[in-house]
Each structure stands twice: as C-alpha cells, then as structure tokens.
Amino acid sequence: MLKTKGVQGEKILGALAAGAKDDAIRMAHTLKGVSGNIGATALHKQARVVETMIRRDDVNLSAAITGMTEALERICREITSVLEEQSKETDTKDNTLFDKEAVVPKLKDLSRYLLASDTRANNVTKEILAMVDGTPLKNRYGSD
C-alpha cells in the first residue's frame, strides 16, 4: 500500500477510461479490504464509497476518488511516521541483556588464546556463553 499510495486513484480512473469497469471495481474493492483489515477506517469508508459509485456510474466519482486518495496518502504518512519512529527507537535502544563490562575481558582472553591456538579458548568460550545465556547473542552463537 505504501508503494502505490499516490497512483491508486489514477489507476482506477485509467481503468474506467479504458472501459475496464470491472478492474476499477476490483481495485477499489481491494483497497477497501486492505484498509479495513489494518483498521484504516476513514480510508475504508472512502474506498467503499468509490466502489459503490463506480458500480452506479455516478457522475461525482472524480471527487470521491480525490477524497479516497487523500485518505490513502494520510494513512501512508502515518504508517511511514510510525515505521521511522520505531527504526529510531531500535537504533538507539540498547538491547544488551548481559554485563558488557564483564564480557569484554573474557573476549580479550578468548582472542589471545585463539591467536595462540591455546586450548583454553574452549573454556573461555563456555564462560562467555554462560554470561550471555538467555540473550539473542547466546541464541545466535551458542550451541550445546
């Protein structure tokens, strides 16, 4: 829906101009369904009006399509705003569920042991995995 926000009304008008009334009805019906499913009630109502007007060959269809397009653009702006805000929160949020201060020396030890091909690297790896147990880091890298 975000990708087609500005052209849906134009597509409906184009279909009607090409004599493809069924296609225009289908487009309005689809937009009505999608908007209803996501709870965009204003857009849902506008799309329902447009669908009905297409079926009835209403001469005021152009104004209704303008209203539908405006409602679609509003909901797309709102969705985009929420997505951007969530992205900012995710970027700034520290999702660490373990003590980084305690893990850093262990990682240095691990690095030193790995470079030296020292078997103590295995023990340090186990210690680190125990420290991050229950975190996404453990789920991603830890194996039993």
The domains of the chain are located at 8-92, 100-141
- Number of alpha carbons in the 13 Å side-chain half-sphere of residue 2: 9
pLDDT at residue 2 greater than cutoff 90: no
The single-letter DSSP state of residue 38 is: T
- Write down the pLDDT at residue 141: 46
Q: How confident is the model at residue 126 (pLDDT cuts 50, 70, 90)?
A: confident
Amino acid symbol at 98: F
Query: Which of 16-20, 38-42, 118-122 ranks highest by mean pLDDT?
Result: 16-20
Higher pLDDT, 31 or 50: 50
Which of 28-32, 78-82, 137-141 has the weakest average pLDDT? Answer: 137-141
- Write down the pLDDT at residue 115: 56
Nearest one of 78, 127, 88 to 107, comparing CA atoms:
127
Q: At what angle do helices 61-92 and 21-37 cross, to 10 degrees?
A: 40
Nearest one of 100, 121, 98 to 109, comparing CA atoms:
121
Nearest one of 136, 130, 135 to 106, comparing CA atoms:
130
Cβ(65)–Cβ(50) below 8 Å = yes
- Write down the pLDDT at residue 86: 63
Amino acid symbol at 90: T
DSSP string spanning 9-33?
HHHHHHHHHTT-HHHHHHHHHHHHH
